[in-house]
């Protein structure tokens, strides 16, 4: 689990690092650059967070609450953060005269929040995940 936490940190940090350059490159209107940004951002950034997340989240909950805990924590956060993100992005664009910088900063802030929360994730190494008292 510790390895998963470290790896997910790298993915979130990578997303934070590329947020501003990626948004700028997309605004240039070059289709090849847009493809490169999307492939690199999704394959290296998003997937390097998703893989460890799939291993880490089930370990955070005891066996009696694992399915519900993972479903609520992952899917509810996806609805709240991911579901409203496009609307927030459009509102930011409209409010700032279509400046790419503001949605890029929004993306950067979300990546930094993801990065920061990994430091508060409990370590599950050495715990018996079948015991209810070992659930986080």
Beta-carbon contacts of 85 under 8 Å, excluding residues fewer than 6 positions away, are 110
pLDDT at res. 7: 59
**In the prediction, which pLDDT does 56 show?**
83
Give 41's DSSP letter: I
Determine the Cα–Cα distance for residues 29 and 120; give it in Å rounded to an integer: 40
Position with higher pLDDT, 130 vs 38: 38
- Domain residue ranges of the chain, discontinuous segments joined by +: 2-121
Q: Provide the greatest CA pair distance for the chain.
A: 55
- Which pLDDT tens digit goes with each residue over 72-108? 988 888 888 888 989 999 999 999 999 999 999 999 9
Q: Evaluate if residue 122 carries a pLDDT over 90.
A: no
**Tens digit of pLDDT for each residue in 16-55?**
999 999 999 999 999 999 999 999 998 888 888 888 888 8
């Amino acid at each position: 689990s510790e390895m998963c936490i470290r790896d997910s940190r790298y993915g979130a940090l990578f997303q934070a690092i590329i947020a501003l350059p990626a948004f700028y490159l997309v605004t240039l209107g070059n289709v090849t650059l847009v493809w490169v940004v999307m492939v690199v951002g999704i394959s290296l950034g998003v997937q390097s967070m998703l893989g460890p997340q799939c291993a880490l989240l089930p370990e955070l909950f005891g066996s009696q609450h694992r399915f519900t805990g993972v479903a609520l924590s992952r899917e509810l956060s996806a609805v709240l953060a991911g579901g409203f993100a496009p609307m927030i992005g459009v509102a930011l664009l409209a409010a700032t005269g279509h400046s790419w910088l503001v949605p890029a900063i929004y993306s950067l802030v979300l990546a930094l929040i993801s990065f920061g929360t990994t430091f508060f994730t409990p370590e599950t190494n050495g715990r018996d995940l079948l015991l209810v008292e070992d659930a986080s």
